[in-house]
């Protein structure tokens, strides 16, 4: 995989046409346009700081294990073990949330095309078919994954241009800038506007995840010390720019706010297309979004399966001997299958809980985001003992690093909190409970039990086998 392929992987996983679109309806009710636009700007800046700090550590340790390998080298095996479990939870939660989002959009397209009614049972069935399709594609090896990711970049950029262009030129009515950048809408049941606005940050924070994929595929990337680090930062920056344009284009084109929120399709972006452009164009643009989401999920599965493989190679997972097996094409086939089975299990609560989807996306955020910050914190703690790679932040390393750590701590706590309030008062109910916190506690407990009874004896961080000779590159300071 070349430098562009590595960048394309993370850009595809961030996927503004996946994250922004699938949580668009959530954003409309948790603060509305004002929180969506300004939240995107603020969260994007903070995530850029997290990504830059992580890229610096990636340049020093370009290995498939990525985050947990870095934590093990900088803080010892216990840090690495805990980081690996958090990273794995986040990646698998991202697979569950991303693929379930595709299922929702596919159900909306089928509704427009043939009057299909997207019940929870039918949506889960579509979700299962999507997981099987992605698993099949990933079994062909990293070369196909790289080709699909390269196509994905241009599909996303062109897709956003087509969507925003159509929504700007075709409708006779558009919302005012005051609406797009100042309208606040709250349908959560909570009365505190600050709390509601903070909840609305989930749309952006969920979208800006998965960029560690550039690090996970370091061993399959040429000149990884520089290419993987650049891939992380560039994927975040360009997603920030493209996503801002997409959100603005969608919000300006809203014709009926209440009708969009309560869309019969179950997908508010589909209603915007339908109201602004008519059924034919709406179906065409929905297909553009669905294909982009499939590209995103395909790249996400590549990243998750490599994480499962690397963690098993180091003896950290139960039945590690199974998950670390490679096919003749050097593809971790059992790891690929595990990386689709677990997301299916995570999505099962969607059958009975209307808030399950946003809870699944929270699992992604509270699992993977702390895993980003741990290597950064350990690098800061190491001080001068940290040996920098050829890509580093120079004098900005500490201020950017501490900004990243504080931000991660803040959003981790935030997205464990209840996101909706039951009608009639009270804090939580069975339907409104945010079980993302349960998933986080469960995984940490599992990691602790596993470490106590097996991990401290079986977990071995391998010798770094990438070429770490910095003499091949010029020293790059950002």
User: If you average pLDDT over residues 343-370, what whole number do you get?
Assistant: 77
Mean pLDDT in the chain? 86
pLDDT at 388 over 60: yes
> What Rg do the C-alpha atoms of the chain give, in angstroms?
21
SS3 394: helix
Q: Is 176 or 69 the better-scoring residue by pLDDT?
A: 176
Q: What is the pLDDT of residue 89?
A: 83
Residues 185-205 pLDDT 10s? 998 888 889 999 999 998 999
Interatomic CA distance for residues 5 and 145, integer angstroms: 9
Q: What is the pLDDT of residue 468?
A: 39
pLDDT at 179 over 60: yes
Confidence of residue 466 (pLDDT cuts 50, 70, 90): very low
Residues 7-54 pLDDT 10s? 888 888 898 998 899 889 999 999 999 999 999 999 999 999 999 999
User: If you average pLDDT over residues 363-370, what whole number do you get?
Assistant: 79
The answer for residues whose C-beta is within 8 angstroms of residue 192's C-beta and 6 or more apart is: none
Q: Do residues 265 and 109 make contact, with C-beta atoms less than 8 angstroms apart? A: no
pLDDT at 266 over 70: yes
Q: What is the pLDDT of residue 359?
A: 67
User: If you average pLDDT over residues 448-469, what whole number do you get?
Assistant: 65
The answer for residues whose C-beta is within 8 angstroms of residue 321's C-beta and 6 or more apart is: 312
Query: Minimum mean pLDDT among 93-97, 188-192, 365-369, 385-389: which range?
Result: 365-369
Bridge partners (DSSP) listed for residue 186: 30
User: If you average pLDDT over residues 89-110, what whole number do you get?
Assistant: 89
What are 371's two structure tokens?
């895993």
pLDDT at 65 over 80: no
Alpha-carbon torsion 74, 78, 83, 85, what sign? positive
pLDDT at 474 over 50: no
Q: Which phi and psi (to 5°) does residue 265 adopt?
A: -75, -20
Query: Minimum mean pLDDT among 91-105, 108-122, 450-464: which range?
Result: 450-464
What are 11's two structure tokens?
């850009």
What are 305's two structure tokens?
């399966």
Query: Minimum mean pLDDT among 77-81, 173-177, 251-255, 350-354: which range?
Result: 350-354
Which of 4-13, 193-202, 220-229, 303-312 is predicted most confidently?
Answer: 193-202
Query: Minimum mean pLDDT among 267-281, 328-342, 464-478: which range?
Result: 464-478
Interatomic CA distance for residues 95 and 90, integer angstroms: 9
Q: What is the pLDDT of residue 354?
A: 63
Percentage of the chain lying above the pLDDT 90 cut: 47
């Amino acid at each position: 995989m070349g430098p562009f392929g590595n960048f394309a992987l993370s850009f595809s996983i961030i996927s503004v046409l996946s994250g922004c679109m699938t949580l668009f309806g959530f954003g409309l009710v948790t603060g509305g346009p004002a929180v969506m636009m300004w939240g995107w700007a603020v969260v994007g800046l903070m995530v850029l700081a997290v990504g830059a700090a992580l890229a610096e550590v990636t340049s020093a340790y370009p290995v498939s294990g990525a985050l947990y390998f870095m934590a093990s080298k900088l803080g010892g095996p216990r840090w690495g073990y805990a980081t690996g479990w958090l990273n794995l939870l986040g990646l698998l939660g991202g697979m569950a949330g991303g693929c379930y989002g595709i299922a929702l959009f596919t159900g909306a397209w089928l509704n427009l095309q043939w009057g299909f009614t997207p019940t929870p049972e039918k949506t889960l069935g579509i979700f299962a078919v999507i997981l099987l399709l992605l698993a099949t594609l990933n079994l062909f090896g990293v070369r196909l994954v790289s080709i699909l990711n390269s196509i994905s970049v241009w599909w996303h950029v062109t897709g956003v241009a087509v969507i925003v262009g159509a929504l700007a030129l075709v409708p006779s009515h558009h919302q005012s800038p005051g609406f797009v950048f100042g309208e606040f809408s709250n349908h959560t049941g909570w009365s505190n506007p600050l709390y509601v606005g903070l909840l609305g940050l989930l749309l952006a924070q969920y979208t800006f995840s998965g960029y560690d994929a550039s690090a996970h595929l370091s061993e399959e990337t040429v000149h990884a010390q520089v290419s993987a680090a650049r891939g992380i930062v560039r994927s975040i920056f360009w997603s920030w720019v493209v996503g801002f344009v997409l959100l603005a284009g969608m919000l300006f084109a809203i014709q009926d706010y209440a009708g969009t929120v309560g869309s019969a399709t179950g997908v508010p972006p589909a209603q915007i297309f339908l109201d602004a452009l008519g059924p034919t164009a709406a179906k065409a643009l929905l297909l553009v979004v669905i294909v982009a989401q499939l590209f995103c999920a395909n790249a996400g599965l590549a990243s998750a399966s490599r994480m499962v493989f690397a963690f098993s190679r180091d003896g950290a997972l139960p039945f590690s001997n199974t998950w670390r097996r490679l096919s003749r094409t050097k593809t971790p086939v059992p790891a690929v299958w595990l990386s689709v089975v677990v997301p299916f299990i995570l999505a099962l609560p969607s059958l009975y809980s209307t808030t399950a989807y946003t809870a699944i996306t929270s699992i992604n955020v509270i699992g993977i985001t702390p895993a980003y910050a741990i290597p950064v914190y350990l690098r800061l703690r190491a001080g001068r003992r940290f040996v920098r790679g050829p890509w580093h932040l120079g004098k900005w390393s500490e201020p950017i690093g501490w900004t990243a750590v504080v931000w991660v701590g803040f959003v981790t706590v935030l997205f464990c909190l209840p996101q909706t309030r039951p009608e009639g008062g009270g804090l939580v109910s069975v339907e409104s409970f945010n079980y993302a916190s349960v998933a986080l506690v469960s995984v940490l407990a599992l990691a602790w039990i596993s470490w106590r009874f097996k991990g401290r004896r079986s977990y071995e961080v391998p010798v770094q086998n990438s070429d770490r000779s910095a003499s091949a590159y010029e020293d790059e300071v950002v």
